[in-house]
């Protein structure tokens, strides 16, 4: 029996090894731009399978290849030098439409008069070009040809299909000399398969090129836009200008993934910010920074960060898959190691065949190129040893395991009769499933169903990530869209919050609360399934310089009233009283009609109606929304959420973040800045200039006064949510004069001292979802 088991494992093991050896090699390509600044001999060719010499031009007179005289010395030696370090690397000759035309193309201009446009338009010109490209590649030892044409016009696209047919026919009919192999043919393509409503000739590309590399960068440039933008975002929840959208379009048009290579930019762009207080994606900008067009190589960006010193730190944004750097005056976006690794995971997920970097001289000690390897940095010798040692080791381990199994089975058989006479103990359900009657109406989902609904928790379905873990969009078999929270193993909230959210949310039913549909606890997973909110969260609109215009004053009043109704239900009208403890803009979700729904009850607490306050030893919440009594002593009451609502209300009327500093000296937090302007009768300077309340019964200055009442330091001075609701609905209802808010720098005129909270809490930072923990 043991020999049969061993034979079975060997049968499985060795075919898998042979399959591994015969699997398609990952394309690891890069462009080397001809210049003396980065010598050819400095290229670490061991990291690549293909290296492109960039670039050869096309002669405008005879349409044959033209090597610029300044590049002749590099051109003739490139193939030989790169092969010294890696004999298996394949040097490619890359052709473009000239520096001027390419520069205009990258800047977004349609270049209709380029040499390439003229070349593809006539059979005789195409033949001259094709013959010259093959002849030149062979003469200098290149093993392939690459066409880098990033923005052909709509007329060019159909001609490109003919060019590729003729090019492939010429390569196939070439008389190959001994020691040579057939030339590789590759093509650079734009991230979208259509230009001016005309599609690339996908059938021709599929037939004729070995692979096409998607130029997945330079989407937004500081030379052509007055707002900061992501030039190489993998995803973009609010726009189709992103790599994932483009790749999916190519695949939907019939381009096989086995023909696609992802372009990786080793450069970024720097914008000059209009305001130091607004450095978000889409912030107003006045043009390029650092240099004439804002472009910066990765090496230069890292050097800039080091030279800038304290305050300049790049941040990885997993939602867009980019790295961002912001100083008071400059905003830079680029791809760092985390981004490159994430994009290579995407390559594997989509079954693309590799990457092509632009350009190699911008790398910094090859950290980006190594990050793109996908764990394939071993030398040929190490790989060979691994292929020998791994199977042998596995065989030994399997043999030992099988012998142990057989011996253990023999021992068990001897006591089996005794064990069968003993009644089996009753097995309890996991703790996470013990929700009792509170969750009786919730659906218990199968993990397999949720896995299928979210496309195996695909990064393309990812909506965002919080302290609980990532959130994915899903679609159930009957078409219902859902949002799925998946507890991260590194979650800062954890299992207690999971059970808390299920038991609390299940008992709360209100139009302004996000509805929990069910949960799943199979396979040690902890998943929460909610109704899907298509317009995402409020913060995406309030702080975006473009999307904020979607929220006119009428819509903002509706949101204010909806949040107020939700809190009023939690505190006054539900069967239980609940303190949310994490009310903030990112936890206000918007449905199809932009109606607000309060979400995320993981930190919420039940509260007895006859008790004024309670205490906790664990301080949780989000910076900027937490009241001073909670920070200092862990005391929470219904006035906790009133304070958070006041902060949120100030943000709704101003469109300002609560993590920046304001005022002439930029030393006032949002609350104190609002108070200073309001007390000086200059409150209109605080509000969002796009808002107009002239036709509304709810006035902005009234909301500002109510908000300032909510953020007073002493919780006893804050109104209840019922009083807030009454003041908002009844403009004639008297409202007291607000006192200086919590966390103020300036002294109160009445007391002559700064707030007690400011004496203890001096600084804040800006995690979107974070916890305050005692230190």
* Domain locations along the chain: 25-265+335-380, 432-531, 539-760
Name the fold adopted by 432-531: Phosphorylase Kinase; domain 1 (3.30.200)
Per-residue pLDDT, 743: 81
Q: Rounded distance, CA 375 to CA 409, Å?
A: 39
Of 632 and 738, which is predicted with more confidence? 738
- Asked whether 455 and 350 are in contact (CB, 8 A), the reply is no
Q: Where are the beta strands (DSSP E) in 174-228?
A: 184-190, 194-195, 198-199, 211-215
Residue identified by tokens 């338009």 is 121
Q: Rounded distance, CA 152 to CA 586, Å?
A: 42
Of 735 and 496, which is predicted with more confidence? 735
User: What's this model's pTM, rounded to 2 decimal places?
Assistant: 0.51
Kindly report the number of other CB atoms within 10 A of residue 661's CB atom.
16
User: What six digits make up the tokens of 567?
Assistant: 């809190």
Q: How confident is the model at residue 591 (pLDDT cuts 50, 70, 90)?
A: very high
Please identify which of the residues 146, 363, 582, 693 carries the catalytic annotation: 582
**Catalytic residue status for 641:** no
Kindly report the number of other CB atoms within 10 A of residue 451's CB atom.
18
Task: Report how many helices (DSSP H) and strands (DSSP E) the chain contains, helices first.
Answer: 23, 29
Average pLDDT (473-484) is 92
Do the two domains 432-531 and 539-760 of this chain adopt the same fold?
no
Per-residue pLDDT, 88: 96
User: What six digits make up the tokens of 214?
Assistant: 């998607």
Task: Give whole-number Cα distances, 691 to 194, 380, 481, 511, 551, in Å.
Answer: 39, 65, 33, 26, 9
Query: Strand 588-590 vs strand 527-531: parallel, antiparallel, or unpaired?
Result: unpaired
Per-residue pLDDT, 434: 47
Q: In 3D, which of 118, 134, 101 has the Cα closest to residue 63?
A: 118
- Written out in words, the top-level CATH class of the domain with range 539-760 is mainly alpha
Residue 735 has φ and ψ, to the nearest 5°, of -125, 135
Q: Rounded distance, CA 67 to CA 713, Å?
A: 73
Query: Strand 605-607 vs strand 596-598: parallel, antiparallel, or unpaired?
Result: unpaired
Rg (CA), the chain: 32
Q: Rounded distance, CA 119 to CA 510, Å?
A: 66
- Asked whether 112 and 152 are in contact (CB, 8 A), the reply is no
Per-residue pLDDT, 153: 84
Whether the bond between 350 and the residue before it is cis, its omega within 30 degrees of 0, is no
State yes or no: pLDDT of 116 exceeds 80: yes
State yes or no: pLDDT of 679 exceeds 90: yes
DSSP state of 697: S
Per-residue pLDDT, 112: 47
Name the fold adopted by 25-265+335-380: TIM Barrel (3.20.20)
Q: How large a percentage of the chain has pLDDT more than 90?
A: 55
Q: How confident is the model at residue 451 (pLDDT cuts 50, 70, 90)?
A: very high
User: What six digits make up the tokens of 227?
Assistant: 């707002």
Q: In 3D, which of 1, 2, 73 has the Cα closest to residue 35?
A: 73
To 10 degrees, what angle do helices 553-568 and 721-729 make? 150
- Asked whether 160 and 201 are in contact (CB, 8 A), the reply is yes
Q: Rounded distance, CA 184 to CA 143, Å?
A: 6
- Asked whether 91 and 127 are in contact (CB, 8 A), the reply is no
Q: Which helix (H) or strand (E) holds 639?
A: helix 638-654
Of 662 and 618, which is predicted with more confidence? 662
Residue 488 has φ and ψ, to the nearest 5°, of -80, 145
User: What six digits make up the tokens of 464?
Assistant: 């965002």
Of 299 and 399, which is predicted with more confidence? 299
- Asked whether 264 and 357 are in contact (CB, 8 A), the reply is yes
């Amino acid at each position: 029996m043991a020999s049969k088991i061993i034979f079975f494992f060997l049968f499985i093991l060795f075919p898998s090894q042979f399959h591994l050896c015969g699997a398609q090699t990952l394309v690891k390509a890069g462009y080397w731009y001809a210049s003396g600044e980065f010598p050819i001999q400095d290229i670490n060719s061991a990291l690549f399978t293909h290296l492109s010499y960039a670039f050869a031009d096309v002669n405008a007179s005879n349409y044959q290849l033209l090597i610029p005289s300044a590049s002749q010395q590099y051109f003739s030696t490139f193939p030989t030098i790169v092969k010294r370090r890696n004999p298996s690397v394949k040097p490619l000759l890359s052709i473009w439409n000239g520096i001027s035309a390419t520069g205009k193309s990258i800047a977004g201009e349609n270049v209709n008069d380029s040499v390439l446009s003229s070349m593809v338009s006539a059979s005789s010109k195409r033949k001259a070009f094709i013959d010259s490209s093959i002849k030149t590649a062979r003469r200098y030892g290149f093993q392939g040809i690459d066409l880098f044409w990033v923005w052909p016009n709509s007329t060019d696209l159909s001609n490109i299909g003919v060019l590729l047919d003729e090019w492939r026919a010429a390569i196939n009919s070439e008389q190959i000399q001994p020691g040579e192999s057939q030339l590789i043919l590759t093509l650079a393509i734009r991230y979208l398969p259509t230009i001016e409503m005309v599609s690339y000739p996908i059938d021709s590309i599929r037939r004729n090129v070995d692979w096409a590399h998607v130029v997945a960068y330079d989407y937004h440039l500081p030379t052509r836009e007055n707002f900061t933008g992501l030039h190489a975002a993998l995803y973009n929840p609010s726009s189709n200008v992103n790599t994932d959208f483009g790749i999916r379009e190519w695949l939907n048009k019939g381009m096989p993934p086995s023909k696609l290579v992802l372009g990786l930019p080793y450069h970024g762009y720097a914008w000059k910010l209009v305001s130091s207080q607004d450095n978000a994606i889409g912030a107003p900008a006045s043009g390029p920074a650092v240099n004439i067009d804002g472009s910066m190589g990765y090496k230069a960006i890292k050097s800039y960060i080091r030279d800038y010193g304290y305050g300049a730190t790049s941040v990885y944004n997993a939602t867009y898959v980019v790295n961002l750097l912001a100083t008071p005056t400059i905003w830079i976006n680029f791809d760092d190691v985390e981004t490159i690794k994430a994009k290579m995971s995407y390559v594997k997920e989509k079954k693309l065949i590799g990457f092509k970097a632009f350009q190699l001289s911008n790398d910094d000690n090859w950290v980006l190129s190594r990050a793109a390897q996908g764990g394939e940095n071993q030398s040929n010798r190490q790989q060979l040893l691994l292929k020998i040692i791994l199977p042998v080791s596995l065989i030994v381990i399997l043999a030992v395991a099988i012998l142990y199994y057989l011996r253990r089975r023999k021992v068990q058989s001897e006591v089996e009769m005794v064990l069968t006479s003993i009644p089996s103990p009753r097995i309890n359900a996991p703790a996470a499933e013990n929700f009792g009657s509170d969750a009786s109406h919730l659906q218990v989902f199968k993990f397999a169903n949720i896995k299928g609904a979210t496309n195996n928790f695909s990064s393309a379905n990812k909506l965002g990530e919080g302290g609980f873990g990532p959130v994915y969009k899903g679609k159930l078999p009957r078409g219902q869209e859902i949002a799925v929270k998946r507890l991260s193993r590194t979650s800062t909230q954890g299992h207690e919050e999971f059970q808390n959210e299920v038991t609390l949310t299940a008992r709360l039913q209100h139009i302004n609360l996000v509805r929990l549909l069910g949960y799943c606890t199979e396979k040690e997973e902890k998943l929460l399934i909610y109704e899907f909110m298509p317009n995402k969260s409020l913060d995406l609109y309030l702080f975006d310089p473009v999307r904020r215009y979607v929220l006119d004053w009428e819509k903002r009043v509706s949101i204010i009233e909806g949040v107020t109704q939700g809190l009023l239900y939690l505190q006054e009208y539900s069967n239980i009283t609940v303190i949310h403890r994490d009310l903030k803009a990112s936890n206000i979700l918007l449905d199809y009609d932009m109606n607000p729904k309060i979400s995320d009850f993981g930190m919420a607490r039940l509260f007895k109606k006859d008790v004024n306050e309670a205490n906790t030893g664990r301080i949780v919440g989000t910076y900027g929304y937490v009241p001073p009594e909670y920070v200092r002593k862990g005391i929470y009451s219904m006035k906790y959420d009133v304070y958070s609502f006041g902060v949120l209300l100030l943000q709704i009327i101003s469109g300002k973040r609560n993590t920046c500093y304001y005022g002439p000296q930029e030393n006032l937090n949002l609350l104190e800045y609002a108070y200073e302007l309001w007390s000086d009768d200059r409150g209109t300077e605080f509000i969002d200039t796009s808002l107009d309340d002239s036709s509304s019964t709810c006035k902005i200055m009234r909301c500002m006064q109510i908000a300032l009442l909510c953020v007073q330091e002493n919780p006893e001075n804050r109104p209840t949510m019922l009083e807030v609701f009454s003041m908002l609905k009844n403009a004639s209802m008297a409202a007291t004069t607000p006192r200086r808010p919590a966390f103020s720098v300036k002294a109160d005129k009445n007391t002559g001292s700064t707030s007690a909270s400011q004496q203890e809490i001096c600084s804040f930072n800006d995690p979107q979802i974070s916890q305050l923990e005692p230190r």
